[in-house]
Amino acid sequence: MKNKSKYTAAAAQLGPIDPGDTKESVVARMLDLLIEAKTKETALVVFPELCLTTFFPRYYITDPANLDTYYESEVPISLMSDMFELVRKEQIIISFGYAEKDNGIPFNTSVYVDSSGNIIGKYRKIHLPGHYEYEPERPFQHLEKRYFTKGNLGFPTFDTTLGRLGMCICNDRRWPETYRVLALQGCEVVTLGYNTPKHYPLAPEHDHLQEFHNHLCMQAAAYANGMWVIASAKAGLEDDCELIGGSCIISPRGEIVAEAKTTMDELVVAQVDLNECKLIRENIFNFNLHRQPEEYKLLTKIKL
């Protein structure tokens, strides 16, 4: 199939998923969004981080058997068979996040599935936030460092019919290095999912800025690297924890061209034009012409 330089893309935001909700019920909601995306002739659909379950790092789980129920030992093809069939039929590429265990090693993972039903890309979250031990003074936990291992795949990019794509996950979006490493590999579209609480216990003074900071880091990165950013949230009041929404599609100009209006299941749709990447990369941020990497050595100096 000929590569497309212009196509419709969507951030498929999910509302809250409570601990008692089954994975099958979540996949049914995802399928509804995918069917809606089909009616809009959408070519790329992005689902959130850890989208099959509630955001379980907020709980201190001591029962290994209970904890294991949140992980998948492989991409859950049978669980999502109806979705994958629709992907094949309608020539769509999707991305979604899930908790993975690879030979017993846990990762916060995202994958691309293409129109042939094949897994064409995988990324494992690198910038793991939160803490490792139980902290009883917190109103909820953030135990990603306990339940996941730092990703070991780097920041790969993937050549597809929809351009060169790259992934990151949630906290990765706050780090400028994430996007620059992807951009240096020619990435044109970054897709990501997130679960972000409105309340940050360590700095509650920033709570009113959570939505602003969410968009700020992605808009700045889109502009500084000449790339599209498609970001999909798990949002709403999830088991008494309020998650921000703000799922959006951001152009290489740094402009939000589409944004969620709710904190429930919602499809956020916009036209992607890869030619806009060139306008930034050949002018304002021409890496070959203007970057001075010999002056950036401190960025890669490892502090022991």
Query: Catalytic annotation on 303?
Result: no
Considering 23, 122, 125, 234, which one is annotated as catalytic? 125
The CA-atom distances, in angstroms, between 179 and each of 12, 145, 190, 280 are 21, 22, 8, 15
What token pair was written down for 171? 């906290």
Helices (H), 79-237: 81-90, 144-147, 176-183, 210-225
The CA-atom distances, in angstroms, between 298 and each of 253, 303, 304 are 28, 10, 13
What CA–CA distance (Å, rounded) separates 100 from 103? 10
Considering 23, 49, 122, 276, which one is annotated as catalytic? 49
Strand partners, 111: 96, 122
Q: What is the DSSP string of 148-182?
A: ----SS-S-EEEETTEEEEEEEGGGGG-HHHHHHH
Pairing of strands 105-113, 119-124: antiparallel
Considering 170, 217, 248, 277, which one is annotated as catalytic? 170
Query: Catalytic annotation on 282?
Result: no
Query: Catalytic annotation on 187?
Result: no
Residue numbers annotated as active site: 49, 125, 170
